[in-house]
């Protein structure tokens, strides 16, 4: 391209896997756009590029197709060379990014004194998966749990705690007791202005450093943190930092002052607000940074959080994972930020997601209409998985069935959450997500275990469970169409990981792994492995091993563990 049009922006010329294998393995449509911009004939431009293109031994002669597509077909020998390098452990079809970025991922962020509900599950699972993907691709990832540990609810909670705390209940189930207090007091605040005023006063006392209130507030955080940690441990999720909203409280006053001094915020009806007259979609939605009673809010805290992250970590990118209802908040936040720090190059992304629905298509609730708690959901997942495992393998010792059920149950819930396009709502269905046939975690975990059993049956080692030598010097013989299709699919693993990181969409990886399992099944049904003669057997075992490794790595990036046996 550069040889034909030296001044063209070649970074726009992307070569992507071909959507239809009929046309080739890879394809670019970028020349058509370039030709259009220059009023050239696109087919002629494509032909000129092909004339200068040296694909070496990698591809069959490149074809110009349609209105100016270039289609590339890998030579089987080139494909085999790449797989051989992977079999030697040189790569697993992806490479660390040549331009590593520092990325802050803000996710999960539940609220103190409340239990984590299914709404937090998507943020936790999605955020964790994005952090894992970015990390695998060589980026520096900083995870931060922006706990809701500050705000007006604590004034109310303090009143209730002092008046009606049931110490025994708190000991038995702290979250349930705090939720009871909260429910009771918020009803009372609605009915009785005096209670509301009492809550306001407790809040003021807390914010001005009252010893007793601080002590109670800290206890509420500590008790909640125990519950959050238990869930994170079950999910295998960890954070580098847990800097809750309260951490930023001392910075809010000077921040609002700065916004006023710079003319970004101004007084309006007793409050302080930022107006977006120059931004049509936000024109009708000014953002409050200080309420008329002097209190700061969610936006103020998020601005202080941004400033802190910028000075502490100098990130290239900050990713916020929350539900769709917070879109306006983040649009406002990002717009204020651009005005406030016009020179900052940090990319800000709001990765939002839809809700989880019950099978009746309404918000996912318990039978009695209450919100479902995440811990209960995970318990049920493990229990149901235990039934499935016990039906399939009644002879297994119970402890082993429990271990399997734990990985399968949690894996199934995570996968159900990652598989749909994150911006659409999805229907939560136990039968669907635990099905052993279908696009589910158990199906992929089972596919992995099945490949591992080939190695056990054939009494051969592989690099998954390290027994060196096995596949390291293998020559790949790719003849059968199923072998070629599987090999081509393996090669695209890295492209899919990059797409997940670029668009913040783990569903690309779910679908890739599901297709991989499909290609493997077709291969395994048509190409005998253990019964083949020496060279072919070794080659096919290497294909099995590479498939298992990609499945394992792919599931690991989704936060899902694999088992050697199921
Ligand atoms: N605690 C908030 C909630 O439960 C989510 C916080 C998201 N992160 C942020 N920086 N605003 O809705």
Question: What are 187-206's pLDDT values in tens digits?
Answer: 999 999 999 999 999 999 99
Q: Is the pLDDT reported for residue 346 higher than 80?
A: yes
More confident residue, 120 or 138: 138
pLDDT in the model for residue 565: 87
pLDDT, tens only, 150-185: 988 999 999 999 999 999 999 999 999 999 999 999
Distances (CA, A) of 289 to 244, 247, 333, 361: 18, 17, 10, 37
Show the ligand 1 pocket: residues with CB < 6 angstroms. 106, 109-111, 146, 148, 302, 305, 320, 322
Distance 431 CA to ligand 1 centre (A): 31
Please tell me the number of Cα atoms within 13 Å of 363 on its side-chain side.
11
At residue 244, the pLDDT reads 96
Q: What is the pLDDT of residue 467?
A: 47
Residue written as token pair 């699919």: 489
Mutate to test the pocket of ligand 1, among 108, 124, 146 (most ligand atoms within 8 A of CB): 146
User: Residue 343 is encoded by which pair of tokens?
Assistant: 């020179």
Task: Please name the residues in contact with 521: beta carbons below 8 A apart, sequence gap of 6 or more.
Answer: 447
Mean pLDDT in residue range 241-255: 96
pLDDT (mean) for 21-30 = 90
Q: What's the CA gap between 354 and 148, in Å, rounded?
A: 21
* Residues ≥6 apart with Cβ < 8 Å to 558: 129, 132, 414, 415, 418, 506, 509, 510
pLDDT of residue 463: 53
Pairing of the two strands 140-144 and 102-106: parallel
With cut-offs at 50, 70 and 90, classify the pLDDT of residue 465: very low
Count of C-beta atoms within a 10 Å radius of residue 20: 7
Mutate to test the pocket of ligand 1, among 148, 149, 150 (most ligand atoms within 8 A of CB): 148
Mean pLDDT, to the nearest integer, of 76-100?
A: 96
How far away, in angstroms, is 151 Cα from ligand 1 center? 13
* pLDDT band (50, 70, 90) for residue 116: confident
Tell me the whole-structure pTM to 2 decimals: 0.94
Mean pLDDT, residues 37-43 taken together = 93
pLDDT digits (tens, 9 = 90+) for 410-433: 999 999 999 999 999 999 999 999
Whose C-alpha lies nearest to ligand 1, atom 2? 109
Mean pLDDT of 11-33: 89
Give the closest residue (by CA) to ligand 1 atom 8: 146
Using CA positions, which residue lies closest to atom 6 of ligand 1?
109
By the 8 A CB rule, do 26 and 8 touch?
A: no
pLDDT band at 468 (very low <50, low <70, confident <90, very high): very low
Centroid of ligand 1 to alpha carbon of 479 (angstroms): 53
Q: From ligand 1's centre to the CA of 298, what distance in Å?
A: 9
**CA distances to 54, 99, 545 from 565, in Å:** 47, 39, 15
Most confident of 112-126, 351-365, 503-517: 503-517
What is the spatial distance between Cα 77 and Cα 59, in angstroms, rounded to a whole number?
A: 9
Strands 16-17 and 26-28, how do they pair?
antiparallel
Centre of ligand 1 to C-alpha 421, Å, is: 21
How far, in Å, is the centroid of ligand 1 from the Cα of 241? 15
- For 291-331, how does the pLDDT look when each residue is reduced to its tens digit (9 = 90+)? 998 889 999 999 999 999 999 999 999 999 999 999 999 99
Q: Give me the pLDDT at residue 13, please.
A: 84
SS3 for 263-287 is CCCEEECCEEEECCCCCHHHCCCCE
Does the pLDDT at position 547 exceed 50?
yes
Is the pLDDT at 466 greater than 60? The verdict is: no
* pLDDT above 80 for 19: yes
pLDDT of 471 higher than 70: no
Q: What are 368-385's pLDDT values in tens digits?
A: 888 888 899 999 999 999
In whole numbers, what is the pLDDT of the chain averaged over residues?
94
Quote the pLDDT of residue 398: 96
Is pLDDT larger for residue 514 or for residue 565? Answer: 514
How many angstroms does the Cα of residue 320 sit away from the middle of ligand 1?
Answer: 8
The CA–CA distances, whole Å, from 146 to 116, 239, 381, 407, 547 equal: 14, 10, 27, 27, 38
- How confident is residue 257, by pLDDT bands cut at 50, 70 and 90? very high
In percent, the amount of the chain with pLDDT more than 70 equals: 98
- To test the ligand 1 pocket, which listed residue (111, 248, 322) has its Cβ within 8 A of the most ligand atoms? 322
At residue 472 the predicted structure's pLDDT band, cuts being 50, 70 and 90, is low
pLDDT over 50 at 546, yes or no: yes
3-state secondary structure of 372: coil
Q: In what order do the strands lie in the sheet with 347-353?
A: 140-144, 102-106, 317-323, 347-353
Q: State the distance from the centre of ligand 1 to the C-alpha of 302, rounded, in angstroms.
A: 9
The mean pLDDT value for 222-248 works out to 96
| pLDDT, tens digit (0-9, with 9 covering 90-100), for 491-544 | 999 999 999 999 999 999 999 999 999 999 999 999 999 999 999 999 999 999
Residue 448, Cα to own-chain centre: how many angstroms? 22
CA nearest neighbour of 439 among 462, 460, 457, 416: 416
């Amino acid at each position: 391209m550069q040889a034909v049009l030296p001044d063209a922006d070649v970074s726009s010329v992307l070569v992507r896997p071909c959507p239809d294998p009929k046309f080739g393995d890879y394809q670019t449509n970028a020349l058509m756009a370039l030709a259009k911009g220059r009023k050239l004939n696109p087919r002629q431009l494509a032909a000129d590029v092909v004339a200068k293109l040296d694909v070496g031994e990698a591809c069959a002669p490149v074809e110009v197709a349609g209105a100016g597509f270039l289609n590339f077909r890998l030579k089987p020998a080139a494909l085999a060379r790449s797989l051989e390098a992977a079999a030697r452990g040189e790569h697993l079809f992806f490479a660390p990014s040549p331009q590593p970025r520092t990325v802050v991922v803000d996710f999960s962020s539940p609220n103190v004194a409340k239990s984590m509900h299914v709404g937090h599950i998507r943020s936790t699972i999605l955020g964790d998966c994005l952090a894992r993907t970015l990390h695998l691709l060589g980026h520096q990832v900083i995870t931060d749990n922006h706990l809701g540990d500050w705000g007006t609810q604590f004034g109310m909670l303090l009143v209730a705690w002092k008046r009606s705390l049931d110490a025994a209940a708190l000991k038995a189930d702290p979250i349930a007791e705090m939720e009871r207090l909260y429910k009771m007091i918020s009803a009372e605040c609605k009915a009785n202005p005096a209670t509301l005023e009492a809550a306001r006063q407790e809040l003021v006392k807390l914010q001005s450093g009252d010893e007793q209130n601080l002590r109670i507030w800290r206890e509420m955080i500590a008790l909640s943190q125990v519950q959050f940690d238990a869930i994170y441990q079950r999910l295998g999720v960890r954070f580098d930092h847990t800097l809750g909203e309260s951490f930023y409280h001392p910075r809010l006053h000077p921040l609002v002052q700065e916004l006023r001094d710079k003319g970004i915020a101004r007084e309006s009806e007793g409050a302080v607000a930022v107006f977006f007259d120059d931004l049509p979609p936000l024109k009708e939605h000014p953002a409050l940074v200080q309420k008329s009673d002097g209190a700061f809010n969610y936006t103020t805290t998020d601005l202080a959080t941004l400033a802190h992250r910028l000075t502490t970590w100098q990130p290239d990118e900050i990713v916020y994972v929350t539900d769709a209802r917070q879109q306006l908040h983040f649009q406002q936040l990002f717009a204020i930020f651009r005005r406030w720090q016009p020179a900052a190059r940090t990319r800000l992304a709001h990765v939002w997601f839809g809700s989880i629905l019950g099978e009746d298509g309404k918000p996912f609730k318990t039978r009695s209409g209450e919100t479902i708690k995440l811990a209960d959901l995970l318990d049920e997942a493990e229990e149901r998985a235990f039934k499935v495992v016990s039906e399939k393998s009644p002879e297994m010792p119970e402890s082993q069935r429990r271990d399997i059920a734990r990985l399968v149950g949690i894996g199934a819930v995570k996968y159900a959450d990652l598989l749909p396009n994150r911006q659409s709502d999805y229907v939560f269905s136990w039968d669907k997500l635990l099905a052993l046939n279908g696009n589910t975690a158990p199906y992929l975990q089972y596919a992995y275990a099945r490949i591992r059993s080939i190695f056990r049956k054939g009494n051969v080692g592989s690099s998954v469970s390290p027994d060196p030598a096995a596949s390291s010097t293998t020559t790949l013989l790719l003849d059968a169409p199923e072998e070629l299709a599987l090999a081509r699919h393996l090669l695209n693993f890295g492209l899919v990981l990059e797409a997940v990181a670029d668009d913040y969409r783990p569903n690309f990886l779910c679908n890739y792994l599901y297709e991989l399992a499909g290609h493997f099944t077709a291969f395994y049904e048509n190409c005998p492995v253990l019964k083949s003669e020496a060279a072919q057997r070794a080659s096919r075992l290497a294909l099995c091993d590479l498939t298992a490794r990609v499945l394992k790595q792919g599931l690991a990036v989704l936060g899902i563990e694999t088992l050697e046996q199921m």
